[in-house]
Amino acid sequence: MSETSPPVAATGPLHNTVVIDLTQHLAGPFATQILGDLGARVIKIEPPDGDSTRTIGPHFVDGDSAYYLSVNRNKESVCINLKTDAGRAALLRLVRAADAVVENFRPGTMEKLGIGADVLRELKPELVVCSLTGFGLDGPYRDRPAFDMIVQALSGGMSLTGDIGGRPVRSGLPIGDLCAGMNAAIATLAGLVRASQDGVGSRVDVAMLDTQISLLSYVASYYLTGGEVPGLQGRQHMSIPTYRAFTCADGRDIAVTANTPKMWIGLCRALGTTDLLGDPRFTTNEDRRRHRDELAAVLDPAALAMDSAHLLTRLGEEGVASAPINTVDAALADPHVRHRDMVVEQERGGEAVFAVGDPLKISDGRTDHRVAPRLGQDTEAVLRSLGGFTPADVAELAAAGAVGPSRIPRLGGRDTSQDTEHAPPARSA
């Protein structure tokens, strides 16, 4: 096992922060990727066979899945077998050099391994330990398995998503995972601020279901204050009937959010339905809400008679917020999206890798976003630089099966499970 090139360059507001990443799959890695994007040195601890998402198809680059690459940039990969005493001891030496630990094991797993939050915080009292789970560290559902669709279903979110009169559907984006990941990153940042100000660590408990319940927002308030149980929302807003989608003559769908009196007037002007402006059924938003069906019976045919490009132009001229409902390819090709560096080009194994960029634009922020690491590529370098291990120590651990990856077949490319070199830095598209 040979030493790698130096770790990701220390830039960004978290450049003096070390995060031990004990997460796999989606929610947890998304949380730690955010911290890495902000400049933290994120040490991803993987089992010998690696994060399970490395093998999720259908698309692969240099032996790892596009799924894995999407949430593991700006990290270093260290393989430690936590089922061994020597592996756990090695992890604890890394924790001593860290500021935060983020994990998404099932509740109780780390305690069974002897590396629970109490052990870690006793080792380093100022440490932030964030646990990201499906249902939290306590409660009747604590030990249930949780996936994105499960929390979307339990939270009531799926009951709102789908065509009116149809059946509930899951959000096309994995909001159960991704929003929980964002909350975990936020809470970890808060813990880091507290540690820097007061020298006191934190125990953070973030649950996917809690996060989804919080996203009910005003919909929950409608029930809690008025007893209203909303149903499927379809392509419209339950409170604002001109906040909705329209189908145009060319078959394209557009979104329109005419949610102010001025935009209501502009919508009517753009659609050529200005006679509605004098109709007492539609004077105020509340009037329009009460007569939603009658309003739609006029607006829908008007939109259906116009080409989408022409209608979007007219809406823009009238100051009405509107947009085409893009497919993913169209969204990623949008000139504004490209201008904002939300599509970046990286390189891995000699292949170009295009990925979603960093949405957090901060002065003096990171400019060298690195592609996700190969399995175990940084094991020796991290153990030596953060854990204080000698080359002989690392070799002994590897011989005992405590560190280092298994030699497993790589998908979509050559076997790179033993490679140790860093991938080249990213280039903006």
Catalytic center residues: 237
The number of helices, as runs of H, and strands, as runs of E, in the chain is: 17, 14
Three-class SS state of 100? strand
Contact call for residues 38 and 8 (beta carbons, < 8 A): no
Between CA 25 and CA 37, with CA 146 as vertex, the angle to 5 degrees is 35
Q: Which two tokens stand for residue 423?
A: 């991938």
The dihedral formed by the CA atoms of 246, 248, 254 and 256, expressed in degrees to the nearest 10:
-50
Cβ of 360: how many Cβ atoms within 10 Å? Answer: 12
Contact call for residues 22 and 132 (beta carbons, < 8 A): no
Q: How far is residue 6 from each of residues 18, 181, 380, 420, measured CA to CA in Å?
A: 15, 28, 12, 11
Contact call for residues 52 and 24 (beta carbons, < 8 A): yes
User: What one-character DSSP code corresponds to residue 370?
Assistant: B
The DSSP bridge pattern shows strands 18-22 and 253-257 to be unpaired
Q: How far apart are CA 175 and CA 182, in angstroms?
A: 10
Q: Which two tokens stand for residue 403?
A: 């560190």
